[in-house]
Amino acid sequence: MPRGKRSGLISLMAVLLGLVTLGVPAAWAKPASVEATRAELKVNGTRTSFMLDLSEGVRAEIFTLANPYRVIIDLPDVNFRLPQNAGQKGGGLISAFRFGLLDEGKARIVLDTKKPVLIGNAGMSARTGRAVRLTVELVGTTPKDFGAGTGGQRTAYAPLQQQPYEERSRKPKNRAKPVILIDPGHGGIDPGTISFSNHKEKMVVLAVAKKLKDKLADSGRYEVHMTRSRDVFVSLDERLRLSRKLDADLFISLHADAIGQKKLASSVRGATVYTLSEKASDETARIMAEKENASDAIAGLQTTEVDSQEEVRSILIDLLKRETANFSADLSNTLVKRLRKTISLSRTPQRSAAFKVLRQADTPSVLIELGYMSHKEDEKLLNSSAWQSSVAAALTSAIDSYFAKRTAKAR
Binding site residues, Zn ion, CB under 5 A: 185, 192, 255
The amino acid at residue 112 is D
CA distance 188 to 191: 7
Least distance (Å) from Zn ion to the CB of residue 237? Answer: 16
Q: Which is nearer to Zn ion, 71 or 242 (CB)?
A: 242
The CA-based dihedral angle spanning residues 30, 33, 39, 42, taken in that order and rounded to the nearest 10 degrees: -20
How near is the Cβ of 379 to Zn ion at its closest, in Å?
A: 15
Closest distance of CB 307 from Zn ion, Å: 18
Q: In terms of CB distance, is 185 or 187 closer to Zn ion?
A: 185
Longest dimension (CA), the chain: 80
Q: Which is nearer to Zn ion, 213 or 255 (CB)?
A: 255
CA–centroid distance for 120 within its chain? 29
Query: Considering beta carbons, is residue 153 or 356 the nearer one to Zn ion?
Result: 356
Residue 310: how many CB atoms within 10 A of its CB?
Answer: 9
Sign of the Cα torsion 18, 24, 29, 35 reads negative
Taking the complex as a whole, how short is the minimal distance between the CB of residue 193 and Zn ion, in angstroms? 6
Smallest distance from Zn ion to CB 46, Å: 36
* Nearest of 298, 260, 305, 290 to residue 111 by alpha carbon: 298
Minimum distance of Zn ion from residue 173's CB (angstroms): 30
Nearer to Zn ion, 64 or 295 (CB): 295
185 vs 371, which CB is nearer to Zn ion? Answer: 185
Q: Give the number of other CB atoms < 10 A from CB of residue 38.
A: 13
Question: Closest distance between Zn ion and the C-beta of residue 395, in Å?
Answer: 17
- d(CA 378, CA 343) in angstroms, rounded, equals 10
Instruction: Give 151 or 270: the residue with its C-beta nearer to Zn ion.
Output: 270
CB 210 within 8 A of CB 229: yes
Do 46 and 95 form a contact (C-beta atoms < 8 A)? no
Between 178 and 185, whose beta carbon lies closer to Zn ion?
185
> Which residue's CB comes closest to Zn ion?
255
Nearest to 189 by CA among 153, 155, 157: 157
Q: How far is the CB of 38 from Zn ion (least distance, A)?
A: 29
Eight-state DSSP code of residue 241: H
d(CA 213, CA 309): 34
Write down the H helix ranges in 127-195: 143-145
Neighbours of 405 (CB within 10 A): 14
